[in-house]
Structure 1
Amino acid sequence: MMECCGCEKARLKMAINHQSRCDPFYNCAKQPVNNGYVGELRIIRTMGVDTGFDMTNNGPHLFDAVRIFGGDEEWI
């Protein structure tokens, strides 16, 4: 990530707050996916409310939700 390089040069630390991983709703909803109850996961679609700051405000949480349900990416 380019942001990490900029932080290193400026001697700053960057933190990403993905609190959804501790949310009981996400953990409960994830169980049927993990145990195969819903079948093979083939696509994940997210939707958010457009606040004008969607990618910077809500976007990271949506990407985190995709990773919660779909797992970490194997390649980019």
Structure 2
Amino acid sequence: MDRDEARELAVAEFTRRMRARKPRGGFRIDDWQVGEPYEEEVRGLRGYQPCFIVDFVPQGDAEARGYRKLGVAVDPETGAVDVLR
């Protein structure tokens, strides 16, 4: 999996999760600055594993609502996606 595919998976998961929350006005992906994927080891249940990380930083309306930066990890081997806490 390359970085572009990882970014697409991360944006899809982020959008799905943000739309699933209780509406507080309209959710728009344009309210977030989507970072470029970078590689980092993430600690999981099976120890540390390399992942692509994509950061989402609130801008404008999202920032005013009190959102903080969120990271999404994508496993380059399996394509599994999860939001980092």
Higher helix share: 1
- Give TM-score, length-normalised by structure 1: 0.26
Which structure: larger Rg? 1
Which has the larger share of strand? 2
How does the TM-score come out when normalised to structure 2?
Answer: 0.25
